[in-house]
Structure 1
Amino acid sequence: MILDAHGHVGTWPDFLIPHPAAEHLLAAMDRIGVAAMGISHLLAVGPDAVRGNAAAMEIAARFSGRFGVWQVYNPHHRTQLPSVGTPGVWGVKLHPDVHQCRLDDPSYEPVWRCGLPVLAHGQTDSPWSDPAQFAAVAARHPHVPLIMGHTGLWPYGFGRAARLVADHPSVFLETCGSKMTGRWIARLAALAGAERVLFGSDACFLDLRTGYGRVALAPLTDADRALIQGGNLARLLGLPLPDLRLPDLPGPPEKGHPA
């Protein structure tokens, strides 16, 4: 099973996105064999989290089972958070750089308490989302599954990102970005463990075919490739994957857990 942890629908003012609709993503997914993709709507990441989240949920309902929604939380607007078990929702999406609010800021405390996995943009040397902030959050909330989008974004920071979260098993390294390579994916697996690496493409910003090709051709064992391309995310989200033996991974906190 191939699962894409990091996708988008919609348009963005700073980038040309030739095919921003869910239908185009679905056609690419079918061609490659991607079973499902986690999406956040770019309207939600940008100016209107409420309308953008609603649009993403409509897409998930229209293409049942093919898209999971990362609902965007804007810390300045205190966007309503989804409840655990909400159909179609995979978790919460944070973009500290767009919202200019540090990942370790107290404004995000409602997110850490909501009981859902969190996908956050991570960018090395950013004042808002440097990987060191992921380590700080994980130290305070070790039972919250936290996915570092882009693994720091820049190649000079990939290894540092893996080392910073090495002692925080609740943090996962996600592979999307135009600078990522198959060799780096294999290095991340060696540094952090293959069970801590997740495939993501950043489609429709970036080409899904290119993103998955890096995983498909990376110098990995078949077992590690299976974990990265979908096994880890399936376990994290509680999706059925009966033919793959997976290590125990941190899940969301139990009801009432102080995290």
Structure 2
Amino acid sequence: MILDAHGHLGTWPDFLIPDPSADGMVSLMDRLGIDAIGISHLLAVGPSAEEGNRLAFAAAERHPGRFGVWQVYNPHQRNRLTGQGVWGVKIHPDVHECPLDDRRYDPVWELGLPVLAHGQTGSPWSDPALFAAVARRHPEVPLLLGHAGLWPNGFHRAAELAGPNPNVHLEICGSRMTGRWIARLAALIGADRVVYGSDSCFLDLRTGFGRVALAPLDDADRALILGGNLARLLEGRLP
């Protein structure tokens, strides 16, 4: 099973997205052999968490088994969360300008669901050091460090900070990620702690998948990264 941990639907005001539709994403998934992708709607990341989450659930209902929903939590809007029918919670500390370790995210951790969070080396909102702090505070919460810190000069540090916290996994989408870096991260932290994501439809699904498919990994490690690790974290939440 190939599972993509990090996807989106919808548009963003300052970013070209040629096809923001669920139908277009499923078509590409079929061409690549991707079974399911975790989505959050960009409207939810932006101005309306409630409405964007509704649109994500509607897309998942139209395409059974192909989309898992990361419900977005906005710490300023304090929108409702559910523990049913979702892969987990998506938070974006940089868009919301709320540090990952801020107590306003307590409703997220209290659910105990997997959490996918934007991670950005050097950011006051989402630096990997904040992931380590939250992981120590909430060791029972599976935490995906989005983009593995985003910037290449921070990938190694992200792995070092995540390493002592077994509930933190490095999610590897981003335009600056490479196949060689994916292999390095697997060597640094263990392939069982690295999770494939594409950031589609922000970024091209084919490019994100190709990085892992062609990375210098052995078949067992590639299988873990492409779906085995996420399936383990989502046990009981997959069709």
- TM-score (ref. length: structure 2): 0.98
Report what 1:9 is aligned to: 9
> Which of 70, 74, 91 is matched with 1:94 structurally?
91
Report what 2:129 is aligned to: 132
Q: CA deviation at 1:103?
A: 0.2
In structure 2, what is the Cα distance between the partners aligned to 1:202 and 1:23?
A: 16
The amino acid across from 2:15 in the alignment is F
Map 1:30-49 to 2 at 5 A: 30-49=30-49
In structure 2, what is the Cα distance between the partners aligned to 1:156 and 1:67?
A: 32
In structure 2, what is the Cα distance between the partners aligned to 1:59 and 1:121?
A: 22
Q: Specify the SS of the correspondent of 1:147.
A: strand
| Superposed CA offset, 1:203-239 (max 9, x none) | 0000011001000111111000000000000111015
Note closer, same or farther for the CA distance 1:11–1:27 as it changes in structure 2 (3 Å cut): same
The amino acid across from 1:195 in the alignment is D
> Which of 112, 116, 119 is matched with 2:116 structurally?
119
Q: Specify the SS of the correspondent of 1:71.
A: strand
> Which of 188, 191, 196 is matched with 2:188 structurally?
191
Q: If each structure's helix is expressed as a fraction of its own residues, which one has the higher value? A: 2
Q: CA deviation at 1:82?
A: 1.1
In structure 1, what is the Cα distance between the partners aligned to 2:162 and 2:120?
A: 14
Q: CA deviation at 1:110?
A: 1.0
In structure 1, what is the Cα distance between the partners aligned to 2:150 and 2:16?
A: 19
Report what 1:207 is aligned to: 204
In structure 2, what is the Cα distance between the partners aligned to 1:227 and 1:160?
A: 22
Q: Specify the SS of the correspondent of 2:55.
A: helix
Structure 2 residue 165 is the aligned partner of structure 1 residue 168: yes
Verify the 8 A CA contact 2:87 2:237 in the aligned structure 1.
Answer: no
Report what 1:238 is aligned to: 235
Q: Specify the SS of the correspondent of 2:88.
A: strand
In structure 2, what is the Cα distance between the partners aligned to 1:79 and 1:124?
A: 27
Report what 1:69 is aligned to: 69
Note closer, same or farther for the CA distance 1:173–1:81 as it changes in structure 2 (3 Å cut): same
Structure 2 residue 191 is the aligned partner of structure 1 residue 178: no
Give structure 1 stretches of 5+ with no counterpart: 242-259
Farther off after superposition, 17-26 or 232-241:
232-241
Moved over 2 A (4+): none
In structure 1, what is the Cα distance between the partners aligned to 2:88 and 2:117?
A: 11
Between the two proteins, what is the percent identity of the paired residues? Answer: 71
In structure 1, what is the Cα distance between the partners aligned to 2:222 and 2:235?
A: 19
The amino acid across from 1:61 in the alignment is E
Note closer, same or farther for the CA distance 1:81–1:240 as it changes in structure 2 (3 Å cut): closer
| Superposed CA offset, 1:102-156 (max 9, x none) | 0000101111111210000000000100000000000100110000110100000
Structure 2 residue 106 is the aligned partner of structure 1 residue 109: yes
Give structure 2 stretches of 5+ with no counterpart: none
The amino acid across from 2:177 in the alignment is M
In structure 1, what is the Cα distance between the partners aligned to 2:202 and 2:142?
A: 24
Q: Specify the SS of the correspondent of 2:99.
A: coil
Report what 2:53 is aligned to: 53
- TM-score (ref. length: structure 1): 0.91
- Count of residue pairs brought into register by the alignment: 238
